[in-house]
Amino acid sequence: MRPRSRRRRGSRTRSSHRSQGPVHSPETPETMETTKRLASNGTNAVWQQVARGWRRNRREWLTFLAFVAPNFILFGVFTYWPILYSFWLSFTRWNFLPARPMEAVGLSNYVQLLRDPVFWKVLGNSLTYATSVVIVAQSPAFFLALLLNEKIRGQPFFRTMAFTPHITTTAAAALVWVLLLDPSLGPLSHLYKALGVQGPRWLASSGLALWAIILVGIWKEIGFASVFFLAGLQNINREYYEAAWVDGASRWAILRHITLPLMTPVIFFLMVSGFIQAMKAFDVVAIMSEGGPVYPDSATYVYHLYQLAFRNFRAGYASAFAMIFFVVIIAVTLYQLRASERWVQYGE
């Protein structure tokens, strides 16, 4: 029994030493140097492991870089470099001619731009065009998608026809609409004569020219948006509708409380992408009105930017225009992303 009691006393003694807590030795230069050496050795070990992994998987890494590098190179050459070069040009005065060297003007281009009434006019025209096209086209495109989602005879044909306006080139669509809106030669002229009224001169009126261009933009956007709405409708779980029908919900209640909330991600995507695309409107303006009838009544931002750079040869001033345009697009997009948190619902 005595040896057993000794072990107990020994265990009590060891436990009493443990209860006193860890004993901290004072940090000396030797211990600090040892700690640094261990950390350095650990870092070297990590890099050695990475190097061994690189040597072992060199072929896979080279294959990966071979596929990725062209994309990064093209993106850098045709996207990032022009942005940086344009930003640098915005602080200069230059007319593209090598005989006249660039002249650094600081913020002079930006100050002149903000004081230019044409800048505010074309910016307002572009915002009006983009907002009208995006907002007005959403409703008819959504209801068109609802109709195309039903099982009807000739469904593939009608779906193709709905998307046709978008795949039609803007130049061709603009020419057709110029003829259509002509008060004397267009098809609408016969309707005006039958009604005994004088048809409006859409493209010759300062108050109507921009809205005629907006009409073409809406016509093209409806076809584009309807395809995305149709895809979104087909991805909605049918069990939601079946449960609503069992509960006796009306078609309007189903549309309001099931379909629309589940379609908000599609609506948000169309608002962001449609706004950016509409802000870049150029060819429809160049063909239909050239910014007239009295410039810049119907000129958009990008069209005026083109005039400054390649008609007036004001490279520095046009670059400042481009930088402001870039900032406006980024600001509006960030606002849309922030506002989407309050109304976009992501569900199954």
Q: Please identify every stretch of the chain with a pLDDT value under 50, giving residue numbers as ranges.
A: 1-25, 38
Q: What sign has the CA pseudo-torsion 282, 285, 290, 294?
A: negative
CATH number of the structural domain 111-343: 1.10.3720.10
The structural domains of the chain, with segments of one domain joined by +, span 111-343
End-to-end CA distance of the chain: 72
Q: What is the 3-state secondary structure (H, E, C) of the chain?
A: CHHHHHHHHHHHHHHHHHHCCCCCCCCCHHHHHHHHHHHHHHHHHHHHHHHHHHHHCHHHHHHHHHHHHHHHHHHHHHHHHHHHHHHHHCCEECCCCCCCCCEECCCHHHHHHHHCHHHHHHHHHHHHHHHHHHHHHHHHHHHHHHHHCCCCCCHHHHHHHHHHHHHCCHHHHHHHHHHHHCCCCCHHHHHHHHHCCCCCCHHHCCCCHHHHHHHHHHHHHHHHHHHHHHHHHHCCCHHHHHHHHHCCCCHHHHHHHHHHHHHHHHHHHHHHHHHHHHHCCCHHHHHHCCCCCCCCCCCCHHHHHHHHHHCCCCHHHHHHHHHHHHHHHHHHHHHHHHHHHHHCCCCC
Q: Residue with structure tokens 């016969």?
A: 190
Instruction: Give the pLDDT of residue 163.
Output: 87
Instruction: Give the pLDDT of residue 290.
Output: 86
Distance, in Å, from the CA atom of 11 to the CA atom of 153, rounded to the nearest integer, reads 90
Neighbours of 296 (CB within 10 A): 21
Distance, in Å, from the CA atom of 293 to the CA atom of 201, rounded to the nearest integer, reads 11
Instruction: Give the pLDDT of residue 20.
Output: 47
Distance, in Å, from the CA atom of 314 to the CA atom of 5, rounded to the nearest integer, reads 101
Instruction: Give the pLDDT of residue 194.
Output: 80
